[in-house]
Structure 1
């Protein structure tokens, strides 16, 4: 079992050092006097006392009289188990587990501590095997930016300390040139996966991300997120703006729209009828037209486009539609076909699996994950075979004409211009921050 080290800092505020601080000093007195454990009301700990508490804990780390070195024991509440029962599994006496529960119950509703919740305890065993194990401390996250610690005071009582990090709502501006791929570059620059996926979906309306993008092309992303003072992202927000090769996308929600959309600088909806490709990032490994078949060796018509991509790469619906087929189909392996408007249908072959809930008759929306790249059927390696039919006849997917979006007017256009001005101001300033509050478990009496 891993040794408990009070100098280990799993987060900026070093909750485990708080846990060990008071408790270690009490343990030094264990051979001379013992006081029964009792629950105390929670006491707030200010950030200013962190440095002093850390120094005290480190100084006392090796001086546990009569007890072995504390060991960190992670605990997860099991299905049908109460918090107290979970604490008992650490090996401490029942009365101590009950006291810990009562301590936490002074400030938090322990009934909300559900199955699956994880927390960590520090348990010391008596030297020589005489006496019971003792709880040195307990730490548990109670919210995105809040945590509690339970530790002993000098008289042997248990004390609860609640620690909350400051939380800031940020609007982040990422500006970079493409290095390898947009996804990898944006990820390295600090954008989260959710924002990057939305941006690449938008770019896919205007560009083939494999053939149209060069290493010197610059892109800009503006997105919101909520972070703690230690820099941990606790909530990924929305993509507010994206720009690539002169194409700009502003996020705006018209008054009578069910969801936000993206518009160019003049207020024209940037969503086209069809996305250029059904993958966020992939390269074309075989184009539409005659070719020598990689398995049969014969020259024959290739009635689609092949995209080389790793197994498990999400496949996106290029437009709204209805699933017509989701089944096994000979050399195509796992096959999916979607019917769209204007007599268009799309087909996807060699899939590893289908997206959640995808089956015949289900409606899908543009950009929705409908399947995942694989190598099923007659395939020499992971890739997506992509086909398009128009009025029942296969056509070259790269030649599909897309319909331009609508243009805002009236009050919507005025509101859009105001939002555009705000976003432009954020881009010019390089981002913005504003403090907010953090949420957690419901406190008793709240």
Structure 2
């Protein structure tokens, strides 16, 4: 039997390395898998945010290097156009055989052939000491769904092990406070609201706020909206906008007795005005109503509407409920749409690039419905929307035009609305906390119970 020599060190895999390997398995860089996936027999442990953080820290900060290799490092990668997953893994600096084996192992859990360019994943790579030779693949991590990820990690015997992990998802009602930086649309999106919620918010405010004149950088706003969030704090879905406030204008979401969902101000008055003040999202007024020097004709001429600067193809919304009376080419107005509303009001939209699919004379449209798209047809120097309001056959200034207001809640509906408003107000006061922020990470959240 060979004698033990205390001068000769023994080879041991330290506990720190074991923790490091476990950390690699916990990595998850967001991406959306487009192809089908095979079932993975491995268990699906729930991820704990603190555990994720600890394991990642152990993997890339505290772990001891494998013999001849430095500590593993995380390398974010994306599949390039025309590139295979194997080639993308190779770009991390690992040998071709190692990349091939890793992809073959992943094939048991996903389609590794039919992948799209841009697919993101994270590779844990250990580089050789002295930067000589090829790196070694320690693990791979990629997200297969909103709360699911698969990881490939090297075990003690050098083999690759496949795991699937699933985070729990909870419903929350989020209170977010921010300040306008850029457009309201961009600022709200940075708060974590998805495009649908932001678009709805902009449309609602367009009844009461002139985005060109009324808003400026630094103006504070508040939103309360539903969302689905993972244990690690990542928003995977945004739901209904429950409340929003800006420049002293507030609106609350409320479901009426007949099942209709509408938005009301603090007094229970429907915030939905008769006509939108801004029938196009994220646009600024570039020309006002009145006499001006015509940019093409070169002489002073009455400008009988207002212009909104917006990119070609930007959706144009019906300013109110009504019937399309014209959808045609009309001289210098180019492609033109005119809608008749109740009470002797009409609205007109000019220089359109095209009409909405199926739009025709006699069609009934609802407020906020897309009827056309911004363009530069007719006598136009660039993409913009020319917007007009007609009252009893006479053009009036859309800015400040006196149009009918919305309905007001009463009786039991008003009582129910006030109770819901009190809950939202208390939530906003509780979560405001004084300082406002535009960062989602610093926004307050309340878990729905």
Determine if the TM-score, normalized by the shorter chain, exceeds 0.5.
Answer: yes
Decide whether the 8 Å contact of 1:267 with 1:408 is kept in 2.
yes
- Structure 2 counterparts to residues 168-187 of structure 1, below 5 A: 168-176=170-178, 181-187=183-189
Match in the other structure for 1:204: 206
Decide whether the 8 Å contact of 1:339 with 1:345 is kept in 2.
yes
Cα shift at 1:262: 0.8
Cα shift at 1:301: 2.8
TM-score (norm 2): 0.67
User: For residues 308 and 77 of structure 1, what CA distance do their matches in structure 2 show?
Assistant: 35
The SS at the match of 2:204 is helix
User: For residues 445 and 399 of structure 2, what CA distance do their matches in structure 1 show?
Assistant: 41
Match in the other structure for 1:36: none
User: For residues 78 and 221 of structure 2, what CA distance do their matches in structure 1 show?
Assistant: 44
Structure 1 residue ranges without an equivalent (≥5): 1-12, 21-38, 79-84, 105-109, 125-133, 437-446
- Structure 2 counterparts to residues 416-427 of structure 1, below 5 A: 416-427=417-428
Match in the other structure for 2:151: 149
TM-score (norm 1): 0.68
Cα 1:352–1:61, aligned 2, differ >3 Å: closer, same or farther? farther
Matched, 1:360 2:351: no
- Structure 2 counterparts to residues 228-267 of structure 1, below 5 A: 228-258=230-260, 260-267=261-268
Match in the other structure for 1:272: 273
Q: Deviations over 1:322-366 (max 9, x none)?
A: 4444444443233333333334332222234445x3522554332
Cα shift at 1:61: 9.7
User: For residues 344 and 176 of structure 2, what CA distance do their matches in structure 1 show?
Assistant: 40
Match in the other structure for 1:159: 161
Q: CA RMSD in A?
A: 4.5
Match in the other structure for 1:52: 58
- Structure 2 counterparts to residues 106-121 of structure 1, below 5 A: 118=119, 120=121
The SS at the match of 1:294 is coil
Q: Deviations over 1:379-410 (max 9, x none)?
A: 12332111233455544333543222222234
Cα shift at 1:235: 1.3
User: For residues 76 and 244 of structure 2, what CA distance do their matches in structure 1 show?
Assistant: 46
Q: Deviations over 1:88-120 (max 9, x none)?
A: 998879998665444x3xxxxx69x99759465
User: For residues 373 and 426 of structure 1, what CA distance do their matches in structure 2 show?
Assistant: 40
Match in the other structure for 1:32: none
Cα 1:114–1:408, aligned 2, differ >3 Å: closer, same or farther? farther
* Counterpart among 423, 433, 438 of residue 446 in structure 2: 433
Matched, 1:221 2:228: no
User: For residues 307 and 213 of structure 2, what CA distance do their matches in structure 1 show?
Assistant: 13
Q: How many residues align?
A: 381
The SS at the match of 1:342 is helix
The SS at the match of 2:240 is strand
Cα shift at 1:221: 2.6
Structure 2 residue ranges without an equivalent (≥5): 1-19, 28-39, 90-95, 126-135, 432-443
Decide whether the 8 Å contact of 1:178 with 1:185 is kept in 2.
yes
Cα shift at 1:318: 1.3
